[in-house]
Amino acid sequence: MTKIKYYFYNTRDGEKIRYIHNKSKSKIIIIFLHGMMSDINGKKVKYIYKLSKKLNINFLAFDLLGHGKSSGNFSDFGIGDWYNQSKEIIKGLVKNKKIILIGSSMGGWIGILLLKKLKSVIAFIGIAAAYNFTENKMWNNFSFKIKKRILKGKIHNLKNSYGGSYPISINLIRNSKKYLLNKKKINLKIPITLITGQKDKVVSFKDVLDMNMIINSKDKKIFVQKDGDHSLSKIQDLKRIEEIILDILKNKI
């Protein structure tokens, strides 16, 4: 079994970020961005880490603030915080590498924001990529009573499809507003691959098509996973992700 070694990165704001960094002499690095209230202990991270070791390429994944073993409380942050944290860590740890950027669920939103800033990205993979969800899936669907509660600084526990709940705070809603993606196209010259599950109860196929319309590239693909749920962590889903990575590498190395 491949043993994963964890490290901690100290940000300029004094936060501690747990991360995994597989280093090699390869010019390619896979960077994985996890979803909301997930972390780098998930099946997708472990699978892709093991694949990177097998292929002898670089790999980086980190717990976002308020997630996993990184510092902070989830309810204190929003998309802007996680986006800026990601920029800082990638800038600090990744030098002269060609990036395959993978964003899972919320990480897909952060990934799209990073595509506008990182010039060294050679491909983007969105796994059940969720964008603008703080507005479209949360705030716009909340009752007046729930909105009032959140505006007063209270936490609203939003039930999720995993039997738990997401603690929704005013920080999450307000901090994410500036980073909402509008209908303006983002023009890219890299391969874009979006993966969605037939049984995803969070990100609908329409959501994926809407994202597909925003990201403009001559090389775009959408894969629909039979029986796939939002996590897309079953073995057939992981193998699909592997196939996509191998296809990218075949054309880029």
Q: With a cut of 70, say whether residue 170 has pLDDT above it.
A: yes
116-169 pLDDT, tens digit each = 899 999 999 999 999 999 999 999 999 999 999 999 999 999 988 777 899 999
Domain boundaries, the chain: 6-132+184-252
CATH of domain 6-132+184-252: 3.40.50.1820
Q: Which two tokens stand for residue 50?
A: 């093991």
As a whole-number percent, the residues of the chain with pLDDT over 70 amount to 98
Q: 154 φ, ψ to 5°?
A: -85, 160
What value does the mean pLDDT take over residues 61-85? 97
124, 101 Cβ separation under 8 angstroms: yes
Q: 123 φ, ψ to 5°?
A: -165, 150
More confident residue, 183 or 67: 67
Spatial distance between the Cα atoms of 218 and 164, rounded to a whole number of angstroms: 40
As a whole-number percent, the residues of the chain with pLDDT over 90 amount to 87
Q: Which two tokens stand for residue 185?
A: 């196209």
Q: With a cut of 90, say whether residue 252 has pLDDT above it.
A: no
199, 228 Cβ separation under 8 angstroms: yes
What value does the mean pLDDT take over residues 179-197? 92
Torsion 208-211-136-72 (CA) sign? positive
Q: With a cut of 90, say whether residue 221 has pLDDT above it.
A: yes
Model pLDDT, residue 183: 77
30, 57 Cβ separation under 8 angstroms: yes
The total number of residues written for the chain in this structure: 253
Please name the residues in contact with 169: beta carbons below 8 A apart, sequence gap of 6 or more: 75, 76, 150, 153, 155
190, 116 Cβ separation under 8 angstroms: no
Model pLDDT, residue 253: 53
Spatial distance between the Cα atoms of 12 and 15, rounded to a whole number of angstroms: 7
